[in-house]
Structure 1
Amino acid sequence: MKKSLIFSSFCLICFGSMYSQSYSYEPEIIDSLLTGIPIKKIVWDSKDTLWFLSNANGLNKSYGDSVWHYNSSNSNLTSEEVKSIAIDSKDTIWLVTEKGLVKFDHNNFTTYDTTNTNILPYSYHELAVDKDDNIWFSSSDAIGGGRGGLIKFDKKEWHVYTPDNSLLPVPHIKSIVIDNGNNIWVACSGFNTYLHNIVKINLNNWTVFNEGNIKIPIYSFLAKTLDIDKNDNLYVKIDYSYSSGDNTGKPSLIKFDGMNWSIIDTVNGIGDWPFVFGFDHYNYLWTYSWNSVLYYYIDNKRIRWDELKVSMNDIMTGIDSNLWLCTSNGVYILKTDIPDKTNSIFNNEKITIFPNPTQGIINIDFDEYAYCEVYSMMGVRLLTTKDKTIDLKNFESGIYFVNIKDKRGKKEIRKVILKKEY
């Protein structure tokens, strides 16, 4: 990563009271990592360790500049075809693979399948962890129909929901998301009067939405159909990949605000519907279409962004508050706010932090130095010191931010990579 990189968005969140700035929304690529590796999905644990999925190579962990691979040859992971990943509040890693549900406690993998549980015996796909640490995942035997359902694991018992024993209208699950109120939202498809359905699960209360009651035509759902923005609005993408007709003007993205459904965007040509989508720190919507175009939305206006020519697999806000794009060529990090240069924080080139990366000790070379604060990427202040030599050996390897303050009260934020030897 670039040694001089300053995550402005992160600084705004963690240190917002330090200074006032005006911002314009101008996306800019500020960093990239894992170049050359196709990235399907990334998550972070509470120690800021980045875990990611690639193409059929098991579970991967990025720690500083190093990458660890867990596969069937060096661990007891029984399948390297990992479909999805989630982390619970205790930092336990959960995976769905072609074999079943897998638990990783950072030492061993435990596989739950039809030999030791009563889960459905079909292909496993979607995965989510709710705020009570219940694990939700899906199993189905055919795209668009057949047999299957939704499975909940509460760490003690297995609950299997199918159209035969629950209000789940159809068996094939395309997406599972959890909102801030711990409601479970499920997109599902199957052979029924209404082919495609959105289901809201609140404890024992199930609510089903489809064309019949939302009054918006839904052609098809594919994977990653659902997402929740910061205001708890539900967004649903509609897919036309299997349509042979002209879909111009048909809804491609719809929203539910808890009361009403509305159309956010419509199709404007072949392939002009979302493949993946997500939200940045400012809650602006970003989409990547089937015809390989990246857009962001401001005030319901779609704006094309052509600075990155690479296929994308996921879009999300990172723990540094920047926008992270999972692509076929690693991860790209976008800053979506640029300070007004007439009112920006000072950027004193006389400040030097060395060594960086470090194995534990950093030194600050700055004549006007008063003191500094060290923060994790989650914005947690770890220490405050007046010393120019700082010991980070008690912290885990990863990325940290040093907030340097001078004798006049001005501040500068620098990124430090801690890369300990084990």
Structure 2
Amino acid sequence: MNFTNRIFNIRIALFAVLLIVAGYLSPPANAEEDEWKFFLNDRPELWDGYLASCFIEDGEYMWVGTNRQLVFKIFKETLEAVDTLNFSAADMAYDREGNIWMVGSGLKKLVGDTLIGWDQNNFQEIGLPGPYPSYISVDSTGIFWLGFNGEGLVRFDGESCMLFDETNAPFKRLHPFQVTINSIAVDKNNNIWITAVGVPGLIKYDHQNWTVYDSTNTSLRANSYPIIVVDKKNHIWAGSTFGLYKFDGTTWEYFDITKIGVKDPILNVVVDKENNVWCSTGHSTGLIKFDGIEWTIFNQLNSPIHGNQVLRIYVDKKQNVWIQVTHIPESGEVWKQRGVNIYRKGGVILNVDENHSLISQKIVFPNPVNDILTIISEIDYNFYEVIDLKGFIILSDKFDFNKSIDVSSLNSGTYCLRLNNDFISKTVFFIKN
């Protein structure tokens, strides 16, 4: 091969490499479609009349509460509903031990795939003022804070409740039996932040003193604040009738959304780990993103989103944005295109992590059991908890060499057994004779 031919072949090879690199760097033809996924909108028996009221991520699954006395357990990788719970969930939260709690048609703890706790039949046992809390947050000491649409704010320590209303907190009773909480958030200093109907400001409770931030002592000017959240930097974000407010602990900053043509109150706010603020008005505005400088609106005119009314927003660990959308019909149209939409810039990621795939391994143990419960598992669990059906931990300890548990002291009945190691947790039920 002469020198000229060698140079020509090298040029061909370099050109081929450039084509391959360009293929990897260029976005695929369907990049926009890959950034959006949809579910509950293509199965009328599931989504007709259903609206997602809340979301919470649970490893390889997503729990989706609805307005119709039903919670869906969604396998994220396929977006298939694999189970349902008979519960009307308005809000969900994790406690300090990693348990999921739901409020709505009661206060319930998720143990395995079963809800246990309190509802209209037994809510008075722990001193709840009513059976239907609407909001839940958990502080750094494990205390639950529950917001009610009428009864006020409740502090629940796992055994008993303390009620805060207009008699012992800066709330307003607008109508008989109505002290309504709009939202609850806990900052990194364990302060409790609340917004409430009739209070034209933000309320902070440091477990001793109450402080109201409003137009008398800050630059806040709105009459209503439907939502309050805390970001990773411990900044407070509040949606209002005028736009967004941010508080960094010293200074209040106002972001005017009327500049982008949005005139409705902000009802939903979520801040992701990159400090992008995702919000919606609950009207026909679409999904709004604010990166601290620029605003972006995703609607049916400029994106594949299935509706312009965004009712709920949730961001998972992989930065997927889950939203409940509804298409508001024009004159003569019918309601349509309801469902959950998922967006992530660069492509939605729903694959299952390897450490979660171990959870499906089988666990075998004598059931029912009389005295000694022996665990046989391919997974090496090192700690256990035995929980009764009210959610109280009855027994807990490290495993001995034989992986056995003495349950002879338990009363007859059904119990939950939670097995833990440093990576995963598994919950199963057993019957004590």
- Name the TM-score, length of structure 1 as normaliser: 0.64
Structure 2 counterpart of 1:62: 110
Structure 2 counterpart of 1:132: 189
Q: Counterpart amino acid of 1:354?
A: F
Matches within 5 A, 1:307-346: 336-338=350-352
Structure 1 counterpart of 2:251: 205
CA distance in 2: counterparts of 1:124 and 1:347, whole angstroms: 38
2:320 is the alignment partner of 1:256: no
| Cα deviation digits, residues 31-56 of structure 1 (max 9, x gap) | 435x221111111212233321124x
| Cα deviation digits, residues 85-121 of structure 1 (max 9, x gap) | 1110111011122232211112221111221234444
Change (3 A) 1:348 1:210: closer
Change (3 A) 1:177 1:102: same
Between Structure 1 and Structure 2, which shows a larger proportion of helix residues?
Answer: 2
How many pairs were matched up?
321
| Cα deviation digits, residues 298-344 of structure 1 (max 9, x gap) | 4366x8xxxxxxxxxxxxxxxxxxxxxxxxxxxxxxx931589xxx9
Q: Counterpart amino acid of 1:400?
A: L
Change (3 A) 1:82 1:222: farther
Change (3 A) 1:289 1:361: same
CA distance in 1: counterparts of 2:213 and 2:358, whole angstroms: 57
- Contact 1:119/1:158 (<8 A) preserved: no
Change (3 A) 1:139 1:74: same
**Residue 234 (structure 1) shift:** 1.3
CA distance in 2: counterparts of 1:36 and 1:286, whole angstroms: 22
What secondary structure does 1:293 align onto?
strand
- Contact 1:48/1:398 (<8 A) preserved: no
**Residue 240 (structure 1) shift:** 2.2
What secondary structure does 2:124 align onto?
coil
Structure 2 counterpart of 1:15: none
**Residue 416 (structure 1) shift:** 4.3
Structure 1 counterpart of 2:98: 48
Change (3 A) 1:111 1:336: same
Structure 2 counterpart of 1:36: 86
Structure 1 counterpart of 2:269: 226
Change (3 A) 1:420 1:294: same
- Contact 1:372/1:384 (<8 A) preserved: no
- Contact 1:356/1:417 (<8 A) preserved: no
| Cα deviation digits, residues 347-399 of structure 1 (max 9, x gap) | 999x753358989834327xxx7x8244789xxxx968764x34497xx9564
Structure 2 counterpart of 1:400: 419
Between Structure 1 and Structure 2, which shows a larger proportion of strand residues?
Answer: 1
Which ranges in structure 1 are unaligned for 5 or more consecutive residues?
1-6, 11-24, 142-146, 190-195, 242-250, 304-334, 405-412
Among candidates 169, 193, 207, match of residue 221 of structure 2: 169
Q: Counterpart amino acid of 2:181?
A: Y
**Residue 150 (structure 1) shift:** 1.5
Structure 2 counterpart of 1:83: 134
What secondary structure does 2:134 align onto?
strand
**Residue 266 (structure 1) shift:** 1.7
CA distance in 2: counterparts of 1:281 and 1:27, whole angstroms: 17
**What do you get for the CA RMSD once the two structures are aligned?**
4.1
Among candidates 281, 296, 314, match of residue 342 of structure 2: 296
- Contact 2:202/2:225 (<8 A) preserved: yes
CA distance in 1: counterparts of 2:317 and 2:162, whole angstroms: 35
Looking at both structures, which has the greater relative contact order when contacts are Cα pairs under 8 Å and sequence separation is at least 6?
A: 1
- Contact 1:211/1:217 (<8 A) preserved: yes
CA distance in 1: counterparts of 2:280 and 2:193, whole angstroms: 21
Matches within 5 A, 1:94-243: 94-97=145-148, 98-122=150-174, 123-141=180-198, 148-189=200-241, 196-211=242-257, 215-221=259-265, 223=267, 225-240=268-283
CA distance in 2: counterparts of 1:295 and 1:74, whole angstroms: 40
**Residue 183 (structure 1) shift:** 0.4
Structure 2 counterpart of 1:280: 316
What secondary structure does 2:419 align onto?
strand
**Residue 281 (structure 1) shift:** 2.4
| Cα deviation digits, residues 212-245 of structure 1 (max 9, x gap) | 6xx322132353x10011222211123325xxxx
CA distance in 2: counterparts of 1:347 and 1:79, whole angstroms: 36
Work out the percentage of aligned pairs sharing the same amino acid.
22
- Contact 1:234/1:256 (<8 A) preserved: yes
Q: Counterpart amino acid of 2:102?
A: F
Change (3 A) 1:345 1:171: closer
What secondary structure does 1:263 align onto?
strand
CA distance in 1: counterparts of 2:360 and 2:280, whole angstroms: 46
- Contact 1:124/1:137 (<8 A) preserved: yes
Q: Counterpart amino acid of 1:128?
A: A
Change (3 A) 1:357 1:221: farther
CA distance in 2: counterparts of 1:103 and 1:347, whole angstroms: 34
- Contact 2:239/2:266 (<8 A) preserved: no
Change (3 A) 1:237 1:130: same
Which ranges in structure 2 are unaligned for 5 or more consecutive residues?
1-57, 62-75, 175-179, 328-337, 386-396, 408-414
**Residue 152 (structure 1) shift:** 0.8
